[in-house]
Amino acid sequence: MTTHVFIDGGAGTTGIEIAERLAGRPELSFITLADDQRKDAQARRTALNDADVVILCLPDEAAREAVSLIANDRTRVIDASTAHRVANGWTYGFPELEPGQREKLAATRFVANPGCWPTGFLALVRPLVLAGLLPAEWPVTLSGASGYSGGGKGMIADYEGADSAPSAFRPYGLTLAHKHIPEMHRYAGLAMAPLFAPAVANVYRGMLVEVPLHLSALPGSPSVAAVQDVLAAAYEGSPIVSVATAEESAAMSGVAIEHVGATDRLALFAFGNADSGQVRLVAALDNLGKGAAGAAVQNLNILAGLPETTGLRL
Ligand SMILES: NC(=O)C1=CN([C@@H]2O[C@H](COP(=O)(O)OP(=O)(O)OC[C@H]3O[C@@H](n4cnc5c(N)ncnc54)[C@H](OP(=O)(O)O)[C@@H]3O)[C@@H](O)[C@H]2O)C=CC1
Ligand SMILES: CC(=O)N[C@@H](CCC(=O)OP(=O)(O)O)C(=O)O
């Protein structure tokens, strides 16, 4: 059976990446709009209602509008924006979040694709909370750097425009109220919202997310090896998420923002020091891969009952 797919916002950075991943898949057919129709509400309404699955690659307001234009009880939605990530009636599109999440996604009509930063953060922190190694009450901080394509067409123009003079490394989110905090707070299962210190780097794509922890101050003073074991067990057998072994991490002198390249992989590390009882948890991903388009395609596969990695760049 053919699944009819409409990518609303298909001319944008994430939409183009998704279309590239879906091209040539015989089990899918695509509804497309001419360039002069892609922001026309009537044309979008028709496409949104004709599709079996729509993937929204739009600013938040346009994503909310798209959902309001759906007037049937059949079309399923994968929203790449921030609009519905903590909204009632939506299922968070991170299948690796915890046991059972994949099954919830397979059964839902409305999927909220995670933000790129939360993807790295939740992959590192959620298993530790579930295992009881990190108490829910613990104050957690994350920092990191993103490629500038994370800011979509607008930020790409800022970095690549003829008159632009981009900074090599630029911390932002300085009001400590970044739009990704609510989803990180909720889905990590933390009592306190994490303190988030993001930065944008002068590279097109790629992302590093880091969570430092004083293990010696945690209840029971868990070892670096215990952290490593929990992460390895959480993603054992995953074709997408990898956890470097202690030996692999010990042999590394750094992690590049380009570590996974333009793929849909998510690579996790626990760099620790047993003497100091400290660990730096690091996630490396492509903000446009597992951070956006790869996750949307993974979710589409789950909704359609297809092998989860079909079309992914691994
Ligand atoms: N870039 C990333 O790394 C990630 C992005 N996301 C999210 O995905 C969504 C898309 O982001 P991104 O692709 O980066 O953004 P872009 O700015 O690159 O693309 C957005 C697209 O939406 C189009 N658009 C805007 N308003 C409307 C409308 N009313 N009707 C139809 N089309 C419209 C734009 O048109 P036009 O071309 O004319 O401007 C553009 O093509 C956002 O919500 C973003 O936050 C999520 C995770 C990561
Ligand atoms: C570098 C940069 O600006 N990145 C974006 C996040 C991109 C992303 O994850 O998209 P959503 O906006 O859909 O969550 C930001 O921090 O707002």
Residues 63-97: pLDDT tens digits? Answer: 999 999 999 999 999 999 999 999 999 999 999 99
Alpha carbons within 13 A on the beta-carbon side of 240: 25
The burial class, CB within 10 Å (0-12 / 13-18 / 19+), for 290 is: buried
| Ligand 1, atom 40, residue with closest C-alpha | 12
The whole-angstrom separation of Cα 2 and Cα 57 is: 22
Atom of ligand 2 nearest to the CA of 146: 1
Q: Give the pTM.
A: 0.97
Nearest Cα residue to 50 out of 30, 23, 78, 25: 30
Q: What is the mean pLDDT of residues 123-140?
A: 98
Q: What is the mean pLDDT of residues 115-119?
A: 98
CA of 136 to the centre of ligand 1 (A): 34
Instruction: With beta carbons less than 8 A apart as the criterion, state whether 227 and 175 touch.
Output: no
CA of 10 to the centre of ligand 1 (A): 8
The residue annotated as part of the active site, out of 19, 28, 55, 116, is 116
Torsion region of 240: left, alpha or beta (phi above 0 gives left; psi -120 to 50 gives alpha): alpha
- What domains are defined for the chain? 3-113+291-303 (3.40.50.720), 116-287 (3.30.360.10)
Backbone angles phi, psi at 293, to 5 degrees: -70, -45
User: Which tens digit of pLDDT belongs to each residue from 134-191?
Assistant: 999 999 999 999 999 999 999 999 999 999 999 999 999 999 999 999 999 999 999 9
Atom of ligand 2 nearest to the CA of 60: 13
- For the question of residue 116 being annotated catalytic, the response is yes
Backbone angles phi, psi at 169, to 5 degrees: -155, 120
| Beta sheet of 3-8, edge-to-edge order | 28-31, 3-8, 53-56, 76-79, 110-112, 91-92
Which ipTM score applies to this complex? 0.96
Instruction: With beta carbons less than 8 A apart as the criterion, state whether 111 and 80 touch.
Output: no
Nearest Cα residue to 201 out of 162, 176, 166, 152: 166
User: Which tens digit of pLDDT belongs to each residue from 195-228?
Assistant: 999 999 999 999 999 999 999 999 999 999 999 9
pLDDT greater than 90 at residue 1: no
Whether the CA torsion 53, 57, 58, 60 is positive or negative: it is positive
* Mutation probe of ligand 2 site: the residue of 180, 187, 203 with most atoms within 8 A of C-beta: 180
* Mutation probe of ligand 2 site: the residue of 86, 146, 209 with most atoms within 8 A of C-beta: 146
| Ligand 1, atom 14, residue with closest C-alpha | 152
Instruction: With beta carbons less than 8 A apart as the criterion, state whether 58 and 8 touch.
Output: yes
Check residue 177 and give its pLDDT. 98
